[in-house]
Structure 1
């Protein structure tokens, strides 16, 4: 699988995946200790988008994005 290069593009694509199928969308995060980077994947089994970073600023932005997505997923809102 290919990783998205820009965080803004990843955010837009992840939100689009969620809005297209909110009941099937999953989000996973994995810390790769050997490469010291965080990997994030959003999928609905038809579309998949991945992003990885080792930047502290991008980690904060990803945390905010994931937090917002989890709030929407837990509340059942679109």
Structure 2
């Protein structure tokens, strides 16, 4: 395995490797704390592409590569700067699912008259939970 030193060459090679064999391609990132290096490895079991960096500026490139690969995995394209981002962003589940409001008229335990005093404050239940006879 050889390290690719040029980022643009690495990114193009990674994206092409993924497009050639999307089901077999794996992407691994590792942080070597003792050396202060971030290592990226993309492989399809036949070809391995690696990139190693210790520069903080490369983190933005790393994020862009992650975003690009995730969009490719979802069969989406990156939106252009003038294009609205709503077409490429996933819609939250709360916008699609509708949970009806509860229509129950049963009062909760804290609101029931048996658990309130004359001042209206809720009193804890005196029942003990657990097994009897031990």
What TM-score do the two structures reach when normalised by structure 1?
A: 0.88
CA shift, 1:58, in A, is 1.1
Equivalent runs, 1:12-31 vs 2, <5 Å? 12-31=12-31
Within a 5 Å distance, the mapping from 1:59-78 to structure 2 comes to 59-73=59-73, 75=74, 77=75
Instruction: Point out the structure with the larger helix share.
Output: 1
| Count of residue pairs the alignment pairs up | 76
* CA distance, structure 1, for counterparts of residue 45 and residue 63 of structure 2: 23
CA displacement, residues 10-40 of structure 1 (integer Å, 9 cap, x when unaligned):
0011011001011111101000001101000
Greater CA radius of gyration, 1 or 2? Answer: 2
Which has the bigger relative contact order, CA under 8 A and spacing at least 6? 1
Q: Which runs of 5+ in 1 are unaligned?
A: none
In structure 2, what is the Cα distance between the partners aligned to 1:42 and 1:23?
A: 13
CA distance in 2, matches of 1:4, 1:24: 21
C-alpha distance in 2 between matches for 1:67 and 1:27: 13
Secondary structure of 1:50's match?
A: strand
Shift of 1:3: 0.6
More strand as a share of residues: 1
Instruction: Say yes or no: does 1:8 pair with 2:5.
Output: no
